């Protein structure tokens, strides 16, 4: 758990479903705040067609901004999501060296999200991931709808593990399971990640959890128990997949950080800055955010008696 990685996806997954256009300058301010908070990775955007996801139209400009001298973060890495070869070409042109790509275990979700079946998408993503890795990029592959699908319901676990096994057989060892529809429960999370780790102990497990039905933090704790080392979350609990049946936000970054810090983990992350960022997002969008701790404040630290 000392190696726990916080992968902030708010600028991408958090904003992709929002109707209010977020100006590039505002995104930069939020990304700068995330970098200053000490999270490990920030997912800046996705290289998708701007007509399909208008909020991501400035992804190239954002990465170009951070590629300029003096603007590349010293410690925090910047990641980008790619769905196809054209998106990967755009990412490399912008200097992105951490690429995330995935395949949905739900054939219906896969077709709605990418226009391809699960099998077609897997063939394409594996080839892309190997090419990106060979070009020197860090690559994370994911199985989307790993815990259930808003269209198909239950997704058989053997289907998820078959996709993971294919990734592992190709030497792609950073693997995320994504709860795209928010259907996961803690017992399922612990069981499925345990099965992934049993496939190959070299696999670095990551998780991407949504709080659609209120299970987000419980599932994150279950993932911790199962040995997951990388957690994707979004500031203010923003987000949701625009191509699933019922959309729910991501696990809230400031709430997750509050939880793990209460457990003695990652005291280096600036929770106060994440809370300020959630408050700023609430002001910008003119509504309450999904998170809790930005409203309540963190549990106060009380010195032991006699200290």
Give the catalytic positions in this structure. 241
Burial class of residue 299 in the structure, from the number of CB atoms within 10 Å of its CB (0-12 exposed, 13-18 middle, 19+ buried): exposed
Report whether 38 contacts 269 (CB < 8 A): yes
> Distance (Å, rounded) from C-alpha 297 to C-alpha 281?
16
> Distance (Å, rounded) from C-alpha 157 to C-alpha 147?
8
**Torsion sign across C-alpha atoms 47, 49, 53, 56:** positive
> Distance (Å, rounded) from C-alpha 147 to C-alpha 106?
10
**196 Cβ contact partners less than 8 Å away, ≥ 6 residues apart:** 161, 164, 175, 177, 203, 205
């Amino acid at each position: 758990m000392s190696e726990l990685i916080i992968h902030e996806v708010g600028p991408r997954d958090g904003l992709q479903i929002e109707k209010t256009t977020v100006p590039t300058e505002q995104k930069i301010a939020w990304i700068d705040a995330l970098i200053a908070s000490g999270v490990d990775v920030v997912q800046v955007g996705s290289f998708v067609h701007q007509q399909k996801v208008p909020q991501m139209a400035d992804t190239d400009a954002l990465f170009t901004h951070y590629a300029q001298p003096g603007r590349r973060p010293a410690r925090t890495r910047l990641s980008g999501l790619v769905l196809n070869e054209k998106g990967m070409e755009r990412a490399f042109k912008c200097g992105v060296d951490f690429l995330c790509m995935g395949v949905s275990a739900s054939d219906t979700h896969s077709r709605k999200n990418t226009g391809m079946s699960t099998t077609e998408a897997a063939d394409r993503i594996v080839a892309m991931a190997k090419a990106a890795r060979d070009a020197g990029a860090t690559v994370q592959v994911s199985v989307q709808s790993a815990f259930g699908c808003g269209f198909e319901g239950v997704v058989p676990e053997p289907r998820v593990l078959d996709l993971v096994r294919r990734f592992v057989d190709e030497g792609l060892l950073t693997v995320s399971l994504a709860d795209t529809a928010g259907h996961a429960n803690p017992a399922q999370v612990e069981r499925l990640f345990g099965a992934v780790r049993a496939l190959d102990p070299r696999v670095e497990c990551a998780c991407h959890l949504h709080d659609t039905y209120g299970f987000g933090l419980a599932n994150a704790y279950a993932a911790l128990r199962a040995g997951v080392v990388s957690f994707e979350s979004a500031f203010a609990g923003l987000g949701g997949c625009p191509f699933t049946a019922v959309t729910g936000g991501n696990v809230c970054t400031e709430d997750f950080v509050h939880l793990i810090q209460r457990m003695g983990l990652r005291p280096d992350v600036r929770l106060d800055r994440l809370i300020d960022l959630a408050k700023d997002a609430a002001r910008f969008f003119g509504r309450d955010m999904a998170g809790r701790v930005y409203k309540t404040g963190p549990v106060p630290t009380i010195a032991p008696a006699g200290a």
